Structure 1
Amino acid sequence: MGKKLEAARKEMAFARKSLEQMRSADDLGAFDNHWKDLLGRLTRLWFKTQASLKGDPRFTNSPHVKRVNVDLKKDPLIQYLARARDADEHTTAEITGQIEAGMQYEFELPDGNRIMMRNPQITIGDGPAMPMKTVGAAREYFAPAEVFANEVTTRDVKYSVPTMHDGKALPDTKLVTFAQLGLEYYERFLDAMEADGWDR
């Protein structure tokens, strides 16, 4: 391994550590912080790659670089990861939300989709919220508290929580899934750049 991609590889190692910490976090606040750190590390990985190879016109024309530039505008997941980082760094909007722990109910729909409800409540008039009795669920279980991705806005453009990546539906919209797929994407990019001799 050479020196030109060394700074980017260091950011990849930090991002991988952030993912490990997300997986082992025993506190929602810590999980949220590790997610935001991972977003920053992936962005820095891209910026440091550009900084270390700037000035070489072949870099801009590399198919790997072109792909990242296209994906930052077109791929829902890669675009979201970059824009969520921007929103976290440059706005006061929350890029994540939290769901309290509680009973979760899953209902199967005729079209194959499902609906999930957690701690359903009902309010009559101005009265207090009361637990709602739920029947007919295909599955019910106690779900732990979790942090989820919010839609983000940067420069007056809204970016929805992604459901697709690389032309395929994502298995879920969990932050750990987003983090893992983002790491794999940028690792493939660095490996391809190294295989093409950019690290020499």
Structure 2
Amino acid sequence: MKALTRTKSQIQKARGLIEELENSPDLKSFRDNWDRFLTQLERCYSHSLSELSKSPKFNGWNVRGHVEQKRKKDPLLSYMVNARGAADHTVAEITEHVKGGLDVFILPKDDSGVTRIDHMSFDGEGNVSIKCNKPLAIQRYPDFVELLPVVNRGRKYEVPNMHLGRDLSQLDPVDLATLALDYYEDYIKKAESHFVK
């Protein structure tokens, strides 16, 4: 069997889309790139099936069944498959724009006295000015895109919080995209080592 050149080309395109996600200039671009990534990720898998099915040994290969089970049962992989389905076949939103904000911390943290803010103002560029009777620490966080639960073929898929036993609760969409693509890339490497001679 020949090397899986078409599948590996699709993997590289998906890697490029992850870079585009990371470098999206605005939230609309991020959402568009997310949709494109989901489609490309599924294309990686479908191309692998197309190329690997040329081998008579493919149907009996135990890794194939393992991957198909993971695509149904693993929260991350299942979400990616079904988010792509929801994006392509419904009008439902699969991402949400979340406004950034500002956290203000009174220093020192163990101070239990009264804190009085005499004045707080914001300029048009997102800067804040605060006049207060105590020292403050200010932490700004930008707007971001959050994944939403999706409904595909009448079934709801929650935003994944696990992948192969790993906690994903602190990861953003780019991290999730990278983990999902890494899984498929590892699958392709196993397939090549097994089938390509």
- Measure how far apart 1:60 and its partner are: 2.2
Match in the other structure for 1:77: 76
Q: For residue 31 of structure 1, what is the aligned residue in structure 2?
A: 30
Q: Distance in 2 between matches of 1:25 and 1:143?
A: 17
Q: 1:55 to 1:163 in 2, by over 3 A?
A: same
Alignment size in residue pairs: 166
| 1:48–1:166 distance in 2 versus 1, CA, 3 Å | same
Tell me which structure has the larger Cα radius of gyration: 2
User: Residue 6 of structure 2 corresponds to which residue in structure 1?
Assistant: 7
> C-alpha separation between the residues in 2 aligned to 1:185 and 1:9?
13
CA contact under 8 A between 1:4 and 1:52: conserved in structure 2?
A: no
**RMSD between superposed Cα atoms in Å:** 2.0
Partner secondary structure for residue 158 of structure 1: strand
138, 154, 159: which one aligns with 1:156: 154
Return the TM-score normalized by structure 2. 0.78
Provide the rounded CA distance (Å) in 2 between the counterparts of 1:166 and 1:184. Answer: 12
Structure 1 length normalisation: TM-score?
Answer: 0.77
Following superposition, the deviation at residue 155 of structure 1 comes to 0.7
State whether residues 3 and 192 of structure 2, in contact with CA within 8 Å, keep that contact through their aligned partners in structure 1. no
Aligned-residue identity in percent = 31
2:98 aligned residue: 99
Counterparts of 2:13 and 2:100, CA distance in 1: 30
Pairwise CA distance, 1:3: 4.0
Q: What residue is the counterpart of 1:42 in the other structure?
A: 41
- AA aligned to 2:39 is G
Question: Quick one: distance in 2 between partners of 1:27 and 1:5?
Answer: 35
Aligned to 1:182: 180
Superposition pairs for residues 186-197 of structure 1, below 5 Å?
A: 186-196=184-194
Q: Which runs of 4+ in 1 moved over 6 A?
A: none
* 8 Å contact kept, 2:71–2:78: yes
Structure 1 gap ranges (5+): 107-138
Aligned with 1:147: secondary structure? strand
Alignment of 1:67 onto 2:66:
yes
Q: Deviations over 1:96-122 (max 9, x none)?
A: 00111221479xxxxxxxxxxxxxxxx
Query: Unaligned stretches of 5+ in structure 2?
Result: 106-136
TM-superposed CA distance for 1:56, in Å, is 3.9
Aligned to 2:145: 147
